[in-house]
Amino acid sequence: MISIRVSNPTILIVDDIAENLHLLTRELTDQGYETRGVLTGTMALTVARSTPIDLILLDIMLPDMDGYTVCELLKIDPATQTIPVIFLSALDEAIDKVKAFAVGGVDYITKPFKTVEIVARINTQLSLRQAQLKLQQFNQELEHQVEQRTSELAIANQLLQAEIQVRQQTEQDLRLSEMRYRLIADNMGDLVCLHSTDGQLLYVSPSIQTLLGYQSDKLLGKNLLDFCHPDDRQCIHIHFKEPLGSAESVTSCYRLRCQSGRYLWLETLAKPVINETGQVTGIVTSSRDVTRRVKIEKQLRYDSLHDALTHLPNRDWLAKRLELELLQCRRYKTSQFGLLMIDLDRFKAVNDSLGHLTGDKLLITVASLLKKCVRDIDMVSRWGGDEFVILLDKIVDIKEAIQVAERIKATLENPIEVDGKVIFTSASIGILMGNGTYQDSNEIFRDVDIALYRAKESGRNRYEVFGLEMYQAAIALLNLENDLRLAIQQQAFITHYQPIYSLKSKKLLGFEALVRWQHHNRGMIMPGSFIDLAEDTGLIKAIGGQVFRQVCEAIKVWESQYELDKDFRVSINVSGQQFRDVTFIDTLDQISKETGVKGHRLKLEITERILLEQSESIAHTLAAISNRGMQLSIDDFGTGYSSLRYLSQFAVQTLKIDRSFINQMRPQKQGIVQAIIDLAHNLEMDCIAEGVETEEQLTQLQQLGCEAAQGYLFSRPLPLEQTSQVLKNWHSQSAESFNPVAH
Ligand code: C2E
Ligand code: CA
Ligand code: CA
């Protein structure tokens, strides 16, 4: 770096003549310059290099080298090259001025010189040098500034470059992601749309073509509402309003019209598009075709409320309707409604004999007939099977319900033709008048069912109106059922035995086992009060099992104590329920095995009805019974269907003539009893007369050739202990009399 010295300039004087040197030194010192004086070129170079020198006065003629050479050397050396050199020469010396300038001199002065001239020339050169130095320094500074600016610019440039790169990357990323989104939106099966806040379509994905048949660009600027099903407009309106108010997405379902004119169900998710300032700028929706799902849902809804066969409302729907009815009744206290529960009589027989298909068609016909018997506001529903329930809306009098029941009864009494077959049917109907005092539909169904049960019980093809006493009776029955279950657990059944005698030999042939229920607080209950219920509830199987075991155990004891006749048998009553039970024979076998009682000691009493069923399993059971040496008798013969065909088919040994016939016997009126006895004999069976109470009856039966009899005349059914006593007496007396036990 070049420094400009402002204090006294230093002049180096180079002259080999000492006087010249002194003279110049003195004069220049006087002028205020600093001076150095040297006699040789070498010294001049040394001083110039080591000391700050502002100007050199250089003699040409020097002892060691000439002034040109010194000047050249000075100009080569960077440390000295800027020092101005003024050549000195004597007048007589021929100075080569051209050379002086060529080697870098700036001026020359010829000796002898005047001090004024020297000073003027020195000053000129010095100020020239000063100016040069300033210029140089200025240049340097300028250069430095330029350099600095340039590097600043370079950094700024680099930063800019980096930013540009980042921006380019971001832009590229954005383009890529937009491309991806568009690719997804364009190729999705779902329909993606962008809507302006006022509902105009701004973007529609191409999937609309496959979905609705429109070209996506043709829809731009249009409003979805224009394609919406008129019934769904409200929904779509709300659906577009809601996302505008919140950042949440909203789901909705509505129909849109296809190009073809038909409608598709779409499920749409709508989400607001929000800009940086939080403003909603549009709505983006994604929709999919849910037509199939909606259809299935509709079907399921329909199925859940309708009966598949008749398409009538089902039980659930009726229950719902009844709940509404109850609400109304509670609000308007006087409001009432009627309920009819209808059960077709003997529908099972139709199904069994004509097949299920015909049965189904009959039900469909009945359904439409029932609808014709009521008003439009009433509801006819099917409860499955052959049960229908009708709700009569807002009737004021039970008479109206009865009128409908009469109408139904009359309608169904007409024969119905199905598949060319004429079917006679009838119905049992339970009627109920309902009001707001009912808690719920279940209570109503319970009561109308009780009324129906009563109608069926009273002989079918009739109606019964529900009353409180019916409810009480039903409750009593329910309690009885509970007690019966408990009795089974506690084995509260005991068997009584009624002796059966031969009318010819007066011999004791055996006993009929008759069950009794030892009730915990009602005392002894007779079978007539609980056998029906036990059959209805299936509890008869358990009761029958207990009776069978008690009988076998008694026989076992008797066999060990008395020498029983080889024909001695105990008759056991078996109900249809038991007989149809697939485990029935197994139970008999099991108990026989456990007690060691053989089949020939037993006789089963069944009713005609069982044989009439003619099923394979019944035939199987009958065969199993005779295989085990057990006998069969037909109980209460003559009270039922008395179809003679079946009698010869099975191994039945005995017909039991029902007590009602014995009771009706008069000396000249023995027709039925006579007929039964003749029939039995023709079929090689014997007869037992039940309920023989008088000597006359006994005599008549003997005259008619009846083989055996039982009845109060001989003995009431007896508890085990007394029965054993009868046996004991019989054997000890071997009497000819019928009745060894006095009563
Ligand atoms: P059933 O099989 O007809 O039995 C005869 C019924 O007539 C018995 O009534 C018996 O006590 C009664 N009886 C006998 N002799 C006379 C008489 O001279 N005059 C009158 N008025 N009645 C007489 P019970 O014991 O009340 O039995 C009623 C019905 O209960 C039986 O009728 C039978 O169908 C059923 N039953 C009884 N025990 C059983 C059983 O263990 N299982 C099944 N499934 N049913 C049974
Ligand atoms: Ca019997
Ligand atoms: Ca009987």
- CA–CA–CA angle 177, 180, 185 (5° rounding): 125
Q: Tens digits of per-residue pLDDT, 55-86?
A: 999 998 899 999 999 999 999 999 999 899 99
Q: What are the CA-CA distances from residue 476 to residues 450, 471, 516, 529 (Å)?
A: 12, 9, 19, 12
Please state the rounded mean pLDDT for residues 534-555: 96
Q: Tens digits of per-residue pLDDT, 84-95?
A: 999 988 756 667
CA 158 to chain centre: 62
Residue 1: pLDDT band (50, 70, 90) is very low
pTM value is 0.53
Length of the chain: 743
The confidence score (pLDDT) of residue 247 equals 64
Please state the rounded mean pLDDT for residues 474-480: 86
* 607 CB within 6 A, ligand 1: no
For 264-278, 406-420, 435-449, 570-584, which range has the lowest pLDDT when averaged over its residues? 264-278
* 547 CB within 6 A, ligand 1: yes
As given in the structure block, the two tokens for residue 184 are: 């997804």
* 498 CB within 6 A, ligand 1: yes
- Considering only CA atoms, which residue is closest to atom 41 of ligand 1? 515
Q: Which of 501, 530, 540, 573 to mutate to test the pocket of ligand 1 (most atoms within 8 A of CB)?
A: 573
Q: Other C-beta atoms within 10 Å of 374: how many?
A: 19
For 37-46, 175-184, 575-584, 613-622, which range has the lowest pLDDT when averaged over its residues? 175-184
How far apart are alpha carbons 552 and 594 in whole angstroms?
Answer: 9
**CATH class given for the domain over 188-297:** alpha beta
- Cβ–Cβ under 8 Å, residues 309 and 363: yes
As given in the structure block, the two tokens for residue 174 are: 């954005």
Sequence spans of domains, the chain: 10-131, 188-297, 308-466, 496-737
How remote is the CA of residue 634 from the centroid of ligand 3, in Å?
A: 9
DSSP string, 143-181: HHHHHHHHHHHHHHHHHHHHHHHHHHHHHHHHHHHHHHH
What's at 699, amino acid-wise?
Answer: T
How remote is the CA of residue 527 from the centroid of ligand 1, in Å?
A: 7
Higher per-residue pLDDT: 23 or 540: 540
- Cβ–Cβ under 8 Å, residues 84 and 56: yes
User: What phi-psi label fits residue 461: left (phi over 0), alpha (psi between -120 and 50 degrees) or beta?
Assistant: left
The confidence score (pLDDT) of residue 469 equals 83
How remote is the CA of residue 14 from the centroid of ligand 1, in Å?
A: 172
How far apart are alpha carbons 466 and 438 in whole angstroms?
Answer: 14
* 524 CB within 6 A, ligand 1: no
Say which residues have a Cβ less than 8 Å from residue 583's Cβ, sequence separation at least 6.
none
* 224 CB within 6 A, ligand 1: no
Give, for 284, the enclosing helix (H) or strand (E).
strand 280-289
The confidence score (pLDDT) of residue 709 equals 97
Domain at 308-466, CATH from 3.30.70.270, 3.40.50.2000, 3.30.420.40, 3.20.20.70: 3.30.70.270
Q: Which of 353, 344, 361 is nearest to 310 (CA)?
A: 361
Report the SS3 class of residue 134.
helix
* 711 CB within 6 A, ligand 1: yes
* Topology adopted by domain 496-737: TIM Barrel (3.20.20)
- Cβ–Cβ under 8 Å, residues 506 and 737: yes
pLDDT at 458 over 50: yes
* 531 CB within 6 A, ligand 1: yes
How far apart are alpha carbons 112 and 91 in whole angstroms?
Answer: 7
CA 117 to chain centre: 121
Please state the rounded mean pLDDT for residues 506-517: 96
The confidence score (pLDDT) of residue 94 equals 65
Atom of ligand 1 at shortest range from CA of 656: 3
Please state the rounded mean pLDDT for residues 240-254: 75
- Considering only CA atoms, which residue is closest to atom 5 of ligand 1? 690
Please state the rounded mean pLDDT for residues 11-25: 90
How remote is the CA of residue 551 from the centroid of ligand 3, in Å?
A: 19
Please state the rounded mean pLDDT for residues 410-423: 91
* 575 CB within 6 A, ligand 1: yes
* 693 CB within 6 A, ligand 1: yes
On average, the pLDDT of the chain sits at 89
The confidence score (pLDDT) of residue 742 equals 40
If you compute the radius of gyration of the chain from its CA atoms, what whole number of angstroms results?
66
How far apart are alpha carbons 740 and 537 in whole angstroms?
Answer: 40
Please state the rounded mean pLDDT for residues 124-139: 85
How remote is the CA of residue 690 from the centroid of ligand 2, in Å?
A: 8
Give, for 540, the enclosing helix (H) or strand (E).
helix 540-561
pLDDT at 6 over 60: no
Q: Which of 493, 516, 531, 575 to mutate to test the pocket of ligand 1 (most atoms within 8 A of CB)?
A: 531
Please state the rounded mean pLDDT for residues 258-273: 90
* 268 CB within 6 A, ligand 1: no
Q: Other C-beta atoms within 10 Å of 412: how many?
A: 22
Residue 466: pLDDT band (50, 70, 90) is very high
Q: Which of 447, 486, 490 is nearest to 465 (CA)?
A: 447
pLDDT at 27 over 80: yes
How far apart are alpha carbons 685 and 688 in whole angstroms?
Answer: 10
- Cβ–Cβ under 8 Å, residues 31 and 43: no
Q: Tens digits of per-residue pLDDT, 304-331?
A: 999 999 999 999 999 999 999 999 999 8
Q: Which of 635, 645, 640 is nearest to 603 (CA)?
A: 635
Higher per-residue pLDDT: 398 or 516: 516
- Cβ–Cβ under 8 Å, residues 525 and 516: yes
- Considering only CA atoms, which residue is closest to atom 4 of ligand 1? 514
Strands (E) in 44-200, as ranges, are 55-59, 85-90, 107-111, 191-196
Kindly identify the ligand whose nearest atom is closest to the C-alpha of 493.
1
How far apart are alpha carbons 286 and 217 in whole angstroms?
Answer: 17
Q: Which CATH code for domain 10-131?
A: 3.40.50.2300
For 247-256, 362-371, 378-387, 620-629, which range has the lowest pLDDT when averaged over its residues? 247-256
How remote is the CA of residue 514 from the centroid of ligand 1, in Å?
A: 6
Q: Tens digits of per-residue pLDDT, 640-656?
A: 666 677 777 788 999 99
- Cβ–Cβ under 8 Å, residues 86 and 107: yes
* 690 CB within 6 A, ligand 1: yes
The confidence score (pLDDT) of residue 743 equals 42
* 712 CB within 6 A, ligand 1: yes
The confidence score (pLDDT) of residue 717 equals 97
Atom of ligand 1 at shortest range from CA of 658: 3
- Identify the residue whose tokens are 């155990």: 553
Give, for 493, the enclosing helix (H) or strand (E).
strand 493-502
Kindly identify the ligand whose nearest atom is closest to the C-alpha of 654.
2
